[in-house]
Amino acid sequence: MSDPLIGFRQYWYKNDLTKLEGMDVHMMPVPSSYNDITTQTNIRDHVGLVWYDRTFFVPQSWVNKKRVILRFSSVSYAAQVWLNGKLAVNHEIGHLPFQKDVTALLNFGASNRVTVACDNTLLQDTVPQGTVYEAKTDLGNKLVQSYTFDFFNYAGIHRPVVLYTTPLHYIDDITVYTDVSGTTGLVYYNVIYTKSDDVTCVVTLFDKHGTKVAGAESYGQDALKVPDAKLWWPYLMHKDPGYLYTLQVELHNTEKEVLDVYRQPIGIRTISWTNTSLLINNHPIYFHGFGRHEDADIRGKGLDLPTIIRDHNLMKWIRGNAYRTSHYPYADEIMDVADQLGIMIIDECPSVDTDAFSLRLLEKHKDSLTELYKRDKNRPSVIMWSIANEPRTQSKAAGQYFEEVAKHIKSLDRTRPVTIAIARGVNEDQSGFHLDVISFNRYNAWYQNPGRLDMITEKIVEEATAWHTKYNKPVLVSEYGADTMPGLHIYPEYIWSEEYQVTLLSNHFKAFDRLREQGWFIGEFVWNFADFKTAQTYTRVGGNKKGLFTRDRQPKAGAHHVRKRYSLLAKELYNVSLPSDFQHYLTPASIHHDEL
């Protein structure tokens, strides 16, 4: 489009988009990324605004009795929303929900139209950052988006859009904190609701069978005691992982009528940490997991329920117990599954490759963490906050910047540790002073010393040790791996082959086992769970191929190899039985780490 602001000048938000003359209008499913839906290059690579609209009906019965809320689970990145031609809400950060009370803007008993202007432009003061420049092409000058992060800049309305109602007296927010005293679970809650002299808050806790185990009537803040509480445990650490209670919050009037109700799944568990360990329910944990992406063919980052379930089934098959939401918050539906299965989450905000630090960016970075905290604060699966991925942390300005960012998230939540996935070297990093756990990304025998499989183990041991020596904090490896073309077999091992990935993994495993003996090394996250799309570059063949699984979720040789590793770790750490098909991998006499 030669005039990117034409929609504002011509007041598109006041009209049905399908009736615009001379405009290219496409049917577009929601949720989805718009980039790969059509057959047009200019849509795949579009930079700037796109417009959506939809009509819907609101019943007359809602008038004067309810509040009506319009909720977007995620629009990437910036969104302006109009309802019936009137501005309803603006939101800038992608991957996080936003909503607005639109009661006053609706036509009850009639048709309504919602219009969304979505802008995928990334600049130096957006989260994440990017730059835009004008380039001369064979078809004239065009805007080109440039960014340094290594995943495709998918855009659109990525997650569900819903219209929901509340009563006029309603529950606005619930915050839950849990603790354990002996065998008694403690559930501290704070309910924000519309205050009134004739409204009380009634809280009831149910177990997973629907049996009441505790309850209280208060004005919104109290604690419940749960005798013989069943704790939320990570996958593989307990025979019943991911145990969830339901905290039911009701507002009652003086006649004991229920005015509003909300049911919040919760897990009773504790998190604590020292300079050497991270503990769940006072038991040290060891992460064996993955970095991931919300990414699938055609739909891009659009919510995809079958893929979500497939991914978590594969995680259980491979016996991973954790993943990072690299490099942005994932969908509510993904987080729900993690809560239920007991998969531990390092919850990452959308800050990627930050390299220009400003006060304006700092405020937006803080806003992203505030929104992330508000959404995920009650999730038992969220074990740690990650406040950035691979920022340029070598400068004094970076140290000051991340000191402020870390202070901000800790002001919101003191119950979880804070980390950054650091890419800079240990001697130059300035961010680790402000973190609770040191996570570092390192690609030995790939980006560093490619082809040298004999330059992995000692380097990982030495660097991890240096991180702990410098900061005296727990250390984990948050990324390592190698691009692998499925079906490419070369022996002796050669870069990009499946054999190369397997040996690279093995040589990292040797380092990790040596580090585990030191007592302060707490985890390994292979990059990546599955192949994913990136921007076009000569270093990428159809995208990033570091996945253990292909983009359509089929295993490479590396997936089977990591399954061996993680199964043996689960047996060693938690006395979990080996999978019934483990004989497909090793004979009983050879089940020990040396065979890896």
Residues 267, 230: contact at Cβ < 8 Å? no
Residues 553, 317: contact at Cβ < 8 Å? no
Mind listing the pLDDT tens digit for each residue in 29-71?
Answer: 999 999 999 999 999 999 999 999 999 999 999 988 789 999 9
Residues 319, 288: contact at Cβ < 8 Å? yes
What average pLDDT score do residues 497-525 get?
98
**Dihedral (Cα; 515, 516, 519, 522), 10-degree rounding:** 100
DSSP string computed for 383-422:
EEEEEEES--TTSHHHHHHHHHHHHHHHHH-SSS-EEEEE
Q: pLDDT band for position 442 (50/70/90)? A: very high
CA proximity to 231, closest of 195, 160, 192, 183:
183
Residues 407, 431: contact at Cβ < 8 Å? no
Residue 348 annotated to the active site:
no
Residues 225, 185: contact at Cβ < 8 Å? yes
C-alpha 259/C-alpha 252 separation (Å) is 6
Residues 431, 471: contact at Cβ < 8 Å? no
C-alpha 210/C-alpha 377 separation (Å) is 24
CA proximity to 182, closest of 267, 265, 282, 278:
282
What letter represents residue 17's amino acid? Answer: L
Q: What are residue 246's DSSP bridge partners?
A: 206, 265
Mind listing the pLDDT tens digit for each residue in 485-509?
Answer: 999 999 999 999 999 999 999 999 9
Residues 570, 234: contact at Cβ < 8 Å? no
CA proximity to 317, closest of 588, 564, 590, 587:
564
C-alpha 318/C-alpha 561 separation (Å) is 9
C-alpha 153/C-alpha 121 separation (Å) is 10
C-alpha 218/C-alpha 199 separation (Å) is 10
C-alpha 274/C-alpha 80 separation (Å) is 44
Mind listing the pLDDT tens digit for each residue in 148-177?
Answer: 999 999 999 999 999 999 999 999 999 999
Largest CA distance in the chain: 79
Report which DSSP code applies to 168. S
C-alpha 271/C-alpha 416 separation (Å) is 7
**Helix axes of 305-318 and 332-341: crossing angle, nearest 10 degrees:** 30
Q: pLDDT band for position 2 (50/70/90)? A: low
Strand 221-226 to strand 184-193: parallel, antiparallel, or no bridges (unpaired)?
Answer: antiparallel
Candidates 92, 294, 390, 463; catalytic one: 390
Cβ atoms within 10 Å of 573's Cβ, excluding its own? 17
CA proximity to 272, closest of 264, 284, 263, 262:
284
Selected residue with higher pLDDT from 553 and 582? 553
Terminal-residue alpha carbon distance, the chain: 55
CA proximity to 180, closest of 305, 271, 79, 66:
271
DSSP string computed for 295-313:
-BTTTBTS--HHHHHHHHH
Cα 560 to chain centroid distance, Å, stands at 25
What letter represents residue 41's amino acid? Answer: T
The contacts of residue 244 (CB under 8 Å, 6+ apart) are 208, 232, 265, 266, 267, 339, 340, 380
pLDDT of residue 35: 97
pTM of the predicted model as reported, rounded to 2 decimal places = 0.95
Mind listing the pLDDT tens digit for each residue in 135-146?
Answer: 999 989 988 999
What letter represents residue 523's amino acid? Answer: G
Q: pLDDT band for position 595 (50/70/90)? A: very low
* Joined tokens for residue 442: 């390192």
What percent of the chain clears pLDDT 70, i.e. is strictly above it? 98
Q: Is the pLDDT of residue 586 over 80?
A: no
pLDDT of residue 284: 98
Instruction: Report angle CA 99, 105, 109 to the nearest 5 degrees.
Output: 110
CA proximity to 244, closest of 203, 206, 271:
206
What average pLDDT score do residues 348-354 get?
96
Residues 101, 81: contact at Cβ < 8 Å? no
Three-state SS for 318?
helix
